[in-house]
Amino acid sequence: MWGNSLIEKVPILRQLYRGIRQIVDSFSAPDKAGFLQVVLVDFPHKGMKALGFVTTEMTDKNGQRTFSVLIPHAPNPLSGFLEIVKEEDLTFTQITVDEAVKMVISAGKVIPGEVPTKI
């Protein structure tokens, strides 16, 4: 596509375009899931739970599993806060990504029958 080659020639636009392109591709590729799982995380402080979407799983240099978790803003589930959270600080749920997205978009008006968790 001639538009891509034009953008690739402009230094500042090239970097910006590549970053945005990588993000869009990661969420739209049919063989990759955008959000891996729905979790509950203490946010904005301990004792308050927020719905979060796991985007990646990592292992730190000590071998401890950590997760990138997007805590969405209502009603837009693609914006919010990105946190790196230790596995023991997450509550893994059985809420589907579709159900969670509906919860966020509806600002909590549409929720599953219960919020089941597996501990």
94 and 55 fall within a common domain: yes
17 and 61 fall within a common domain: no
- Structural domain containing residue 23: 1-32
Considering its fold, how many domains does the chain have in total? 2
Mean pLDDT of 87-91: 94
14 and 64 fall within a common domain: no
- Nearest-angstrom CA–CA distance, 83 and 42: 11
2 and 50 fall within a common domain: no
16 and 51 fall within a common domain: no
| Residue 55 confidence (pLDDT) above 50 | yes
For residue 119, name the pLDDT band (cuts at 50, 70, 90): very low
Sign of CA dihedral 11, 15, 21, 24: negative
